[in-house]
Amino acid sequence: MASGPLRIGVCGNGTVGGGVIALLQDQASLYRSRCGRSLELTMVGARRDRDDCLVPPSVAVERDLSLVASARDLDVVVECIGGTELAAELVRAALSSGKSVVTANKALIAEQGNELYKLAEDNGVSLLCEAAVAGGVPIIKALREGMAANCVSSVTGIINGTGNFILSDMAAAGRDFAEVLAEAQALGYAEADPTFDVEGIDAAHKLAILASIAFAMPLKFEEVYCEGISQVTPEDLTFAEELGYCIKHLGIAKQREQGVELRVHPTLLPKEEQLASVDGVLNAVRLEGHAAGATVYSGAGAGRLPTAAAVLADLIDLARSGSEVISGLGTAVSTLQDRAVLPMDDVRSAWYLRLNMLDQPGVMSQVASCLGAEGVSIEALIQRPPVHGQQSVSVVVVTNEAREQELGRALDAINALEGIDSQPYRIRVEG
């Protein structure tokens, strides 16, 4: 183990970077005792000063972030600036100059990680990203180290706190999506443009990283299927409750004989499942290993100190390892196995279908016939009585497992029926 200090440059002094800078000062003695050497904040790269981020007078502050990446007296650069263009330039420069990099940037890793991990390996340095997925939940270390003796068959997670907050609040208060989204924005849980969160892009970034580590495969963000939560209604949440389910926005990665499933979408989960009880802005991930079985990890998925603590966990690993390179993916890039991503048409699941149909004899039997023609069987059915003055009724059907392609053809046939009042809405069912 190295005895000299681990010299650290932090780029970015916002929420996460400021948290890292604060922890390095506040917990210096704790980290020294755990590493056998000090974690020394040597340089900060920041375009402007912030009142909520106090940098010690002895630490150099550079306005030009490239000077941090090229500095000779640093061992590791912490990238906390976000985005992908400038961050990618910064990380490439740091790795190329022989510095390890710790980042909280899930978009950067998911979209450009294959190139960056190869660059780190070629330069004999480490690229670590514990903070990029699930904030303070140590899920990457759990996969890379704790599950190292397991063949991991599936990763299922609530990995976006904004979406989980919205669905949890909709279910608890019976409010619609737009109203709860506005509240999430007011509370700072959602951005002014919430697309990345509510349409699943943020979760897809994280799922691509988890799948790469779990299955020892290259990152395949561009092949992750994404479906958002904006079409989920309070009525869906009520029906799910009546059927013994809740609705969560999940990232799901599974190994199948034909390929790997990579998908993010609303999902009905049985209420007895552990993930079903995770509400608000919390994150949770369930791993399935051949030896360990199912293990679940839950906690704060974002926030200044939880995310900063994940960054520090990577820095502590680097301090303990000395000159030894740590593989951020748990294996050398050259040993990754390219795995085909299963087309969504071939993915099998059970289905929740919400239909609005005219309150007329024979319509339900026609719906059942359309499903049966594609080999889709009905497991449960709920039909609401007609509201006075209305001619249509809400009907919910839960099916047994069927391929998406089969279900899609059945829904096309159902939608063509004269007794169907609006486009059917479907949600996948897990468990």
Residues with a known catalytic role: 206
- Is 285 within 8 Å of 159 (Cβ atoms)? yes
Cα 23 to chain centroid, rounded: 25
Q: What is the dihedral of CA 237, 239, 242, 245, to 10 degrees?
A: -50
Can you tell me the distance from the alpha carbon of 353 to that of 410, in angstroms, rounded to the nearest whole number? 11
Can you tell me the distance from the alpha carbon of 338 to that of 223, in angstroms, rounded to the nearest whole number? 13
- Is 177 within 8 Å of 170 (Cβ atoms)? yes
- Is 151 within 8 Å of 216 (Cβ atoms)? no
Residue 397 φ/ψ region, left for φ over 0, alpha for ψ in the -120 to 50 degree band, beta for the rest: beta
Between the alpha carbon of residue 380 and those of residues 244, 408, 411, the distances in Å are 11, 19, 17
Pairing of strands 152-158, 245-255: antiparallel
**Any idea which residue has 């990380």 for tokens?**
91
Tokens representing 52 are: 């909520």
Can you tell me the distance from the alpha carbon of 327 to that of 38, in angstroms, rounded to the nearest whole number? 22
Can you tell me the distance from the alpha carbon of 370 to that of 407, in angstroms, rounded to the nearest whole number? 10
Q: Which amino acid is at 410?
A: A
E strands, 90-137, are 100-103, 127-128
Q: Which amino acid is at 381?
A: L
What is the distance between the terminal CA atoms of the chain, rounded to a whole angstrom? 46
**Any idea which residue has 């506040």 for tokens?**
26
Q: How many CB atoms lie within 10 A of CB 26?
A: 11
Pairing of strands 6-11, 39-45: parallel
Strands, sheet with 6-11, edge to edge from the N-terminal-most edge strand: 60-62, 39-45, 6-11, 76-79, 100-103, 127-128
Between the alpha carbon of residue 137 and those of residues 49, 206, 267, the distances in Å are 29, 13, 22
